[in-house]
Amino acid sequence: MATVLHATRPAPRPTAAARLVSDTGTSMLRVLLNYRHSPGLLAASLGVPVVMVVVFGYVFGSAIQVPGGGDYREFLMPGMFAMVATNGVMPTMVGAARDVGRGVTDRLRSMPVSRTGLLLGQTLADLLVSVVVLALLALVGLGAGWRARNGLADAAGAFALLLLFRFVMTWVGTLLGLAVGKEEAAGQLSVAVFPLAMVTNAYVPTGGMPGWLRFLADWNPISAVVQACRELFGNPSAAGSAWPMRHATLVALLWSAALLAACVPLAVRKFATHGR
């Protein structure tokens, strides 16, 4: 009798931590397979920054002077790296809105899965893709004359900061996509990322901007990431006297922590309660 009872005993239910890990891995695989079957997505992610390096570095670069001297293309490359990180908003926003519009989100919500794990898997998959894009863009930069001049440790710190900011931007995009709920609207909203990225120090020094615009650019989180990377890479910089630019690494970390603290719980809640 004891043997029969032991044989028919139900299997133990997985713990919340085990389910989180399992669902995160499954969600990551789903996104990565999408990139595998659509290599054009990866090509597009790399193509835009490369075109920008050519246009700004070689077409406009001769007309742009870096305050204090220095090669403009070395000034530009940290901005290009930061743009790759910032652009994490767009694919995740469109993807989240597409899932909502096609009913995928509703189907996933009806299953006994970890809501946090599903969203975390999507953001981590995007992070893996961004590692490839950053590595390829770094090779392009090396070919254009860019160098990381402060040594391997500082360069690793700069790339770690870029990946952190990319991770943050994917959560921002996920929240916006879930809130919008329509792929077409998300695609139109992604255009707003362009002016946000332009009002920064990524392409030109902010010293020539009007006072009010320079204030916005100096306090833009993208500018903090760019300036921090320039300092860590040892590239030419035009920090100015603004407090965020004089403490760029600290400000970049504070912005990242604040955005994660706001967007992660809101995105998980929006995913869990969508349609209610």
- Cα dist from 172 to 178, 250, 263, whole Å: 10, 20, 6
pLDDT tier at 158 (50, 70, 90 boundaries)? Answer: very high
Whole-angstrom distance, CA of residue 95 vs CA of residue 113: 19
Q: What is residue 10's predicted lDDT score, i.e. its pLDDT?
A: 53
Instruction: Write the pLDDT tens digit of every residue in 105-121.
Output: 777 767 666 777 778 88
* Residue bearing the bigger pLDDT, 171 or 274: 171
Q: What is residue 64's predicted lDDT score, i.e. its pLDDT?
A: 79
Burial of 199 (0-12, 13-18, 19+ CB in 10 A): middle
Give the three-class secondary structure for 138.
helix
Q: What is residue 217's predicted lDDT score, i.e. its pLDDT?
A: 92
Contact 81, 137 (CB under 8 A): yes
Q: What percent of the chain has pLDDT over 90?
A: 32
Residues in the chain: 276
Helix (H) or strand (E) holding 176: helix 152-180
pLDDT tier at 2 (50, 70, 90 boundaries)? Answer: very low
Q: pTM for the whole thing?
A: 0.86
What is the CB neighbour count within 10 angstroms for residue 269?
13
Whole-angstrom distance, CA of residue 76 vs CA of residue 58: 11
